Structure 1
Amino acid sequence: MRNGVAVALLGIFMWVARQPNTFRGVYDHYQWIFTYVILLSLFYSNLYWLVPEFLFKKKIVIYGIGLLLLNLAGSMVIYLFHVFVLEPHRVVKVQEKPFVILQTIVLAIFLLLIILSSTSVKFFKKWISDIEKINELERRALESELNALRHQIQPHFLFNMLNNINVLTRKDPAKASNIIVRFSEFLRHLLYENNHTETALSGEIKFLTDYLNLEAMRRDDFDYSINYEEENIKNVILPPNILLVFVENAIKHSADPSEGSYIDLRFSIENNEFCFWCTNSIPIFTNRNSKSSGIGLLNLERRLQLLYNDNFYLNSSCNENEYIASLKLPL
């Protein structure tokens, strides 16, 4: 497309710059048409041969020699065409010899500029191509990193559940069997229903509800609540497993064998933003300096940076009895 525009512009230039009535009859048109054809030949010879074969391969000296030879060949062909084809049909008297020499020099410079213009076109096309390749590589790297971060969550979730089931098989086999059936639904969700870049919030809430229900079956004195307005979350779309990290973290750090524990989830849409709060109780005796406690949230923060740049809000705080994590995402 860009080459076609260059060819058209060059043709218009040759038509406008021609000297009409210099030669007899149709030969007056032969002058600018032949020159135009030679210019195109030089233009494309440099574009598709000299530049890729020598300049791009850093053979600068050979490219310079080729450029001069191409310019000389074009000038000679135009000169011979004028002498043997056009001159016998000249109408306008030829200028003084010094002026003819000046015209020849101007023609050579003009040809060189046309050839060099194709060099700039080639460099521009290569620059565009390189930018597209860089963008493609960055996009693929971004997708790979997102997939890697996302799939770090799933094994963590699976290993926790398998360990819980293993413990329960010794204490209550019937209950463990029921949990295994429910757990198979989670595997189906993770392997088949959640392998997309986006998912409906309503589906994520159902998934988290089932997860918390499983946890309630496994643990005594555990309670949870999920608060949202059905109408508000109907059309909300989110990246998959964004909220699972909060719930996993809350389940892990709310467990208290001596007292009851709870988790509260709240969802709302405010000012065209998705808002989420996850609150969990804190056991009386807990290691608040555990280094492993924040790995999931650190991975989540990196994933959010890749997806939203700095266009998100992620915060966590705690008091003596509760840990609160909050998230806001633009819609």
Structure 2
Amino acid sequence: MPKPFFLMKSWPVILTIWVMDVVLTFMQVHMQGLPYLEAFWLAVVESIPGALCAFLFCYWLLPVFMKRRKMLLFALLAVVICFVASLITVSLSLPMLCNSAGKVMAAPQTCGLQTVFPGHFIAMLFTSGTICGIRFYQEYVRTLIDHERLHTTHLEAEMRLLRDQLNPHFMFNMMNSIHVLIERDAGQAADMVLEFSDMLRYQLHDASKPAIPLQQEVAYLQNYVNVENKRRCNELKVTCNWETQLPPYYISPLILAPFVENAFKHVSQFADQDNFIGIDLFLEEETLFFIVKNSKEPVDTTEETRPRGIGLANVRKRLALLYPDQHFLSIEETADQFVAYLEIKTDVLR
């Protein structure tokens, strides 16, 4: 994104303020009775030192002191420079100033360094301070733009990394599933390979996009559940409640898949009681709700230190990057079940 010209250059600002200073000074002295030409040259002579000081501050001193974070020292130095510059300017131009003043003042003998210098010094200080303030704002906005661009680049790189981690993780689990099913039923394994290829096609063509229709993500989850049911020969009690009519919302691809994948991966395998997975996805009051539950076996204390999967860890990071302050995620684990509860505000899915 190109930066605005106002944020790229300081000299137009300095030139504009200098011209305004010349015009205002010219109008002031001319209205007091000084002829046009003398009023013009007097305005130019008084304004040039202020413009030079402004260039000095903006292009040399201010950037140096900003990098060193010594703005108080810069302010003190700027006051000293303005004081010296104003003193030299008034001293050199005093004959012309007093000559001009003698033409319009009732008591020209009062024209002197002690009467002219304070006003000139304050005017130079005000002009230079205004320009430095604008220059400081430019640097501040430029820093914000560069920081935002760097932040966006970092987020894009991190999102690519997280997605690259997710896809091999998913493929590893599914290939394991197909391998198990081949030993049970080669025909169903062949059908499962075809369905799996459709899922991979989804990952290759759709998951690379920043956002996809919510309906496509739900269809992918439905295919995933069907494939897992075939692999397990329907030995699980899987209950799915999908929203039938989904609005045209958009969501980051594969943001919901890790929850379903995790449920099938860690579901219990009891021989004497039901093993279940429950999936609910619905919209209510401008919020998308996604709830995944699965039964689990009691965790043995010796298994507490075993490595956890990267699926849920990745999805936490993706949600934080994609929907900051626009989602709520709760993962609870009890003695007999695991529950993942996710809310996403639909205003970020439009």
TM-score (norm 2): 0.74
**Amino acid corresponding to residue 172 of structure 2 in structure 1:** F
User: Match for residue 266 of structure 1?
Assistant: 280
User: Match for residue 23 of structure 1?
Assistant: 34
- CA drift at 1:193: 0.8
Closer, same or farther in 2 for the Cα pair 1:39/1:278, shift >3 Å? same
Describe the SS at the equivalent of 1:226: strand
* Contact 1:24–1:90 (Cα < 8 Å) also in 2: no
- CA drift at 1:120: 3.3
Closer, same or farther in 2 for the Cα pair 1:304/1:62, shift >3 Å? closer
Alignment equivalent of 2:327, drawn from 312, 319, 327: 312
Residue 42 of structure 1 pairs with residue 56 of structure 2: no
Cα distance between partner residues in 1 of 2:267 and 2:294: 6
Deviations 1:210-262 (A, max 9, x none): 1122212222224534323322x232322222211111111112263847744
Cα distance between partner residues in 1 of 2:106 and 2:93: 16
**Amino acid corresponding to residue 119 of structure 1 in structure 2:** C
User: Match for residue 227 of structure 1?
Assistant: 241
User: Match for residue 256 of structure 2?
Assistant: 243
Cα distance between partner residues in 2 of 1:258 and 1:235: 43
Q: Equivalences for 1:292-331 in 2 at 5 Å?
A: 292-293=307-308, 295-317=310-332, 322-331=337-346
* Contact 2:22–2:43 (Cα < 8 Å) also in 1: no
Task: Could you tell me which runs of 5 or more consecutive residues in structure 2 were left unpaired when the two chains were aligned.
Answer: 1-5
- CA drift at 1:325: 2.4
User: Match for residue 101 of structure 1?
Assistant: 113
Shifted more, 268-277 versus 304-313: the winner is 304-313
User: Match for residue 267 of structure 2?
Assistant: 254
Closer, same or farther in 2 for the Cα pair 1:248/1:7, shift >3 Å? farther
User: Match for residue 160 of structure 1?
Assistant: 173
Deviations 1:21-53 (A, max 9, x none): 44335323432244345533432343224434x
TM-score (norm 1): 0.77
RMSD: 4.0
Task: Could you tell me which runs of 5 or more consecutive residues in structure 1 were left unpaired when the two chains were aligned.
Answer: none
Cα distance between partner residues in 1 of 2:185 and 2:133: 77
- CA drift at 1:296: 3.0
Describe the SS at the equivalent of 1:265: strand
* Contact 2:34–2:104 (Cα < 8 Å) also in 1: yes
- CA drift at 1:263: 2.8
- CA drift at 1:96: 5.4
Cα distance between partner residues in 1 of 2:65 and 2:333: 64
Cα distance between partner residues in 2 of 1:282 and 1:68: 76
User: Match for residue 138 of structure 2?
Assistant: 125
Closer, same or farther in 2 for the Cα pair 1:189/1:112, shift >3 Å? same
* Contact 1:314–1:328 (Cα < 8 Å) also in 2: yes
Q: Equivalences for 1:26-175 in 2 at 5 Å?
A: 26-52=37-63, 55-56=65-66, 76=88, 83=95, 87=99, 91-93=103-105, 95=107, 99-106=111-118, 107-175=120-188
Instruction: Percent identity, please.
Output: 23
Cα distance between partner residues in 2 of 1:90 and 1:166: 105
Closer, same or farther in 2 for the Cα pair 1:55/1:265, shift >3 Å? closer
Cα distance between partner residues in 2 of 1:204 and 1:287: 35
* Contact 2:213–2:250 (Cα < 8 Å) also in 1: yes
The size of the alignment, in residue pairs, is: 328
- CA drift at 1:184: 2.2
- CA drift at 1:270: 1.2
* Contact 2:26–2:39 (Cα < 8 Å) also in 1: no
Cα distance between partner residues in 2 of 1:238 and 1:209: 16
Cα distance between partner residues in 1 of 2:236 and 2:78: 82
- CA drift at 1:86: 9.0
